[in-house]
Amino acid sequence: MGLPDPWRLYDEAYRRLHRLEDVPVEGGVFFRLGRGRHRGRPVVLSDGVVVRPGDPLGILHLHNEALAVLHEGRPSSWVVGSALYQGFKATLRELARRAATDPDVARLVAFYAETIFWNGLAHAGFDVRPFRSRLRATLVGVYQRALLGHVHPEGPARAARGMGRGRYREPRGIWISRATLLARYGARSDPSEPAV
């Protein structure tokens, strides 16, 4: 099943245009990694790292097809959320491994994503920031809620119900510096400390 054809075609075109690469982990591929450069004013992260204009970034994208597959068979939201959470943690560990061993990833100053699922990510080491552009926030929110409506078995009603509870309403930009990624998710991090 997976994504409906129009979404799948758009997703594939976007992946090719932005040269997104899958980040395979145990259990599958949950996220893709793109590259970009920071545009706009400097961003000071909570660990003191300053992301300056032109600095190289890793851009994280949810693997939309994988999200659609997770919803097949109408599992509970808890089951899907748990699988996505485990995939997210595994992806961060894999990115930390690459940041320590792959020069192409090691040069990235920070990792960034835009998401309506930002609640609780500060506990995972991310800086959660509102968008500076109202228009961009609106467009990202509309797109991500529409995607959720297409992949969730309950369809648009699920996204609407989440909005009624104040969830999925306002997307945020989430940032994590390479230094924090390595400290929290790298091989030398304290295994007794919960990663997320």
Q: Where are the domains of the chain?
A: 5-185
Confidence at residue 70, expressed as pLDDT on a 0 to 100 scale: 66
Confidence at residue 154, expressed as pLDDT on a 0 to 100 scale: 57
- Where the chain has pLDDT below 50, the residues are 159, 163-165, 191-196
167: closest CA among 135, 130, 141, 143?
Answer: 141
pLDDT above 70 covers what percent of the chain? 78
Q: What is the pLDDT of residues 35-52, one digit of tens each?
A: 999 999 999 999 999 999
Confidence at residue 167, expressed as pLDDT on a 0 to 100 scale: 56
Confidence at residue 72, expressed as pLDDT on a 0 to 100 scale: 64
Cα→Cα distances 6→10, 12, 193, Å: 6, 10, 43
Confidence at residue 164, expressed as pLDDT on a 0 to 100 scale: 46
86: closest CA among 27, 39, 42?
Answer: 27
Mean pLDDT, the chain, as a whole number? 83
Residue 185: phi and psi, rounded to 5, are: -125, -5
